[in-house]
Amino acid sequence: MGIHTGGGRAIFSGGNAPSDVIDYVTISTLGNATDFGNLTSAELSDAFASTTRGVIRLAATYNYIHIASTGNATNFGNALENGANNACCSSNVRGLIGGRYTGSRSNVIEYVTIATLGNGSDFGDLTVGRSNGVGFSSPTRGVFCCGFGSGDENVIDYVTIATTGNATDFGDSARAVSGPAGFSSATRGVICGGTNVIDYVTIASTGNATDFGDLSSSRQFFGGASTQIRGVVGGGSGPINTIEYVTIANTENATDFGDLTVARAFVGGCSDSHGGLL
């Protein structure tokens, strides 16, 4: 089966300005973001997507949008476990949310079926409880790593997206960091930031992360999105409005892409062309 993707649009949502803003960019180009619409409330957010629909995780609820259009987000359903600072990944069918802050660091993974509306369901548990982590995927495997934890912030674990069950150890990131962003092609997952460093893993295997390059500066709490070729990251602590990009198959430093419409941190990122889509 070939890889099927949307139009190569990245969505950046929400944040702590406070912000209900949703922006978009065309990943294959360069330039500033364009206003897409608004969330149902101004909150920190995380996000995942199919080829057509973006789903944005807020603290207690989900919103959704049709990525190829513009407009305000609509309510999707309620979260299984309330709490901010989630890590997200998806296939074209199912979105997974791993870890969050609920007063303590949670290890719960929940999921939704992207094409339908409804509440989050239990998937299983991460190997460690954490928040402010990052997720990315191939069409079959979801990977979670990093975040605030209990001294285990460098842990990487994985699940098979089409099943339910607890996560399995994958390896370790090179750095124990909180608040990175992530994105992937169908084969390679990229972990950006927490500092200025970018790492990567080969999703189909297990093992420790490898150095990829550097961001232009140290960055935390920002969003990532990608096509099969290029990954983009936007926003971050400061807050800042900067968007940067890398070519996923290379190892290289990030390059300036443009700016978000609003400077903000704790931004959700997703796209209609990421590595989890078939």
Alpha-carbon gap, residue 41 to 73, rounded angstroms: 9
Closest CA to 220 of 169, 151, 147: 147
Q: How many CA atoms lie within 13 A of 95 on its CB side?
A: 33
Across 226-253, average pLDDT: 97
Residue 197 has pLDDT above 80, yes or no: yes
Q: Is residue 80 part of a domain?
A: yes
pLDDT for residue 153: 76
Overall average pLDDT of the 82-93 stretch: 94
* Owning domain of residue 94: 9-271
In this predicted structure, the answer to whether residue 274 has a pLDDT above a threshold of 90 is yes
Is residue 41 in some structural domain? yes
Q: Is pLDDT above 70 for 152?
A: no
The pLDDT, as a whole number, for residue 147 is: 87
Domain assignment present for residue 2? The answer is no
Task: For residue range 16-60, list pLDDT tens digits in order.
Answer: 988 999 999 999 999 999 999 999 999 999 999 999 999 999 999
* % pLDDT > 70, the chain: 97
Residue 277 belongs to a domain: no
121/171 Cα distance (integer angstroms): 27
278 belongs to a structural domain: no
User: Beta strands of 130-196 (E only): which ranges?
Assistant: 134-137, 141-145, 155-160, 168-172, 181-184, 188-192
Taking the CB of residue 74, how many other CB atoms lie within 10 A of it? 14
User: What's the burial of 245, exposed, middle or buried (CB within 10 Å: 0-12/13-18/19+)?
Assistant: buried
Q: Indicate whether 16 belongs to any domain.
A: yes
Name, in order, each residue with C-beta under 8 angstroms of 100's C-beta and a sequence gap of 6 or more.
Answer: 81, 83, 84, 85, 86, 106, 108, 131
| Total domain count, the chain | 1
Tell me the CATH number at 214.
2.120.10.80
Residue 269's pLDDT band, with cuts at 50, 70 and 90, is: very high
pLDDT at residue 149 tops 80: no
Does any domain span residue 1? no
pLDDT at 176: 83
First to last CA, the chain: 7
3 in a domain, yes or no?
Answer: no
What per-residue confidence (pLDDT) applies to 1? 44
> What whole-number percentage of the chain has pLDDT above 90?
87
